[in-house]
């Protein structure tokens, strides 16, 4: 497990081996299983867990955020063309599934669990930014998800990069806030790693977009993360 753990704890972008020689469906299934299983064991249950609303709120809300990223990654791996972009999707699928497993363990340690999915459920109240789940910064809209699912080839590559750039940028706010204010050291470490890695990945996505002949992803794509910049708890945070 040591080499994989080193990859999980990387600083910067996940550098998995992007070999897509096997069938995409088989690869997707294998990555989903592997990522979730590794995340579960990396959760490292603690005997006495310090807790706060920031810990449980971040874990529950970031899990929802990660779920959509995994959904988009599966679409790109199935329909995309560019090997580098499909490699980005593979990284999202593997590492965010791993983080989902770890967050599930941590929520259990805190005596909490993820609420039932409800797009109108209030999220981010723990960081003084209450909003509906469907309006969480960076979340793609149902129409955008449908467009990505229908896209093929380079169109899928470019749309994935655009939506995932916005998705990562929106998730940075939660990760940065939790990294600074969580009580559980495991949550602090995870949130800090998410913030660092996703910021680096946004830069890689921009370079890939330029190579494919498109401008960098617009920040307005998906749920508008800038709409919350003046709310309490957002001072000094980077969009």
Q: 238 or 181: whose pLDDT is higher?
A: 181
**Span 187-201, mean pLDDT?**
97
**Span 141-146, mean pLDDT?**
98
Q: How sure is the predictor about 214, in pLDDT bands with cuts at 50, 70 and 90? A: confident
Reading the block at residue 152, the tokens are 């093929």
pLDDT in the model for residue 36: 46
Neighbours of 140 (CB within 10 A): 24
Asked if residue 200 belongs to a domain, the reply is yes
Q: What is the mean pLDDT of the chain?
A: 80
Q: Per the structure, how many domains does the chain have?
A: 1
- What secondary structure, in 3-state letters, does 15-82 show? CCCCCCCCCHHHHHHHHHHHHHHHHHHHCCCCCCCCCCHHHHHHHHHHHHHHHHHHHHHHHHHHHECC
Asked if residue 174 belongs to a domain, the reply is yes
CA angle 175, 45, 90 (to 5 degrees): 50
Asked if residue 135 belongs to a domain, the reply is yes
**Span 171-193, mean pLDDT?**
96
| Ordered DSSP codes for 116-138 | PP-TTSEE-GGGT--EEGGGSTT
Asked if residue 39 belongs to a domain, the reply is no
pLDDT in the model for residue 29: 54
Q: What are the contacts of 5-12 at 24+ separation with CB within 8 A? A: 5/42, 8/38, 8/42, 8/95, 8/98, 9/193, 10/197, 11/193, 11/196, 11/197, 12/196, 12/197, 12/200
Domain limits at 143?
Answer: 48-93+115-215
Asked if residue 128 belongs to a domain, the reply is yes
**Span 117-130, mean pLDDT?**
95
Q: What percent of the chain has pLDDT over 90?
A: 67
pLDDT tens digits, one per residue of 24-35: 555 555 555 554
Asked if residue 70 belongs to a domain, the reply is yes
Q: 55 or 227: whose pLDDT is higher?
A: 55
Asked if residue 32 belongs to a domain, the reply is no
- pLDDT exceeds cutoff 50 at 152: yes
Asked if residue 147 belongs to a domain, the reply is yes
Helix 154-181 with 83-109: angle, nearest 10 deg: 30
- pLDDT exceeds cutoff 70 at 8: no
pLDDT tens digits, one per residue of 43-100: 444 445 567 899 999 999 999 999 999 999 999 999 999 999 999 999 999 999 999 9
CATH of the domain at 186: 1.20.1260.10
- pLDDT exceeds cutoff 60 at 156: yes
């Amino acid at each position: 497990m040591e080499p994989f753990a080193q990859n999980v704890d990387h600083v910067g972008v996940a550098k998995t081996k992007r070999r897509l020689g096997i069938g995409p469906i088989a690869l997707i299934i294998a990555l989903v299983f592997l990522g979730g299983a590794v995340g579960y064991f990396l959760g490292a249950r603690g005997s006495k867990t310090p807790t706060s609303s920031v810990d449980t709120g971040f874990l529950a809300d970031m899990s929802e955020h990660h779920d959509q990223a995994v959904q988009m990654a599966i679409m790109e791996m199935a329909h995309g063309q560019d090997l580098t972009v499909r490699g980005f999707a593979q990284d999202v699928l593997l590492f965010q599934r791993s983080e989902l497993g770890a967050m599930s363990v941590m929520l259990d340690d805190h005596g909490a669990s993820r609420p039932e999915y409800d797009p109108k459920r209030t999220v981010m109240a723990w960081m003084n930014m209450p909003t509906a789940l469907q309006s969480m910064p960076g979340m793609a809209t149902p129409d955008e998800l449908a467009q990505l699912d229908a896209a093929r080839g380079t169109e899928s590559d470019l749309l994935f990069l655009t939506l995932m750039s916005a998705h990562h940028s929106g998730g940075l706010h939660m990760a940065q806030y939790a990294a600074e204010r969580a009580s559980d050291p495991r949550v602090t470490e995870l949130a800090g790693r998410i913030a660092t890695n996703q910021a680096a990945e946004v830069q890689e996505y921009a370079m890939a977009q330029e190579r494919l002949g498109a401008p960098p992803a617009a920040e307005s794509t998906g749920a508008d993360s800038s709409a919350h910049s003046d709310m309490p708890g957002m001072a000094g945070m980077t969009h």
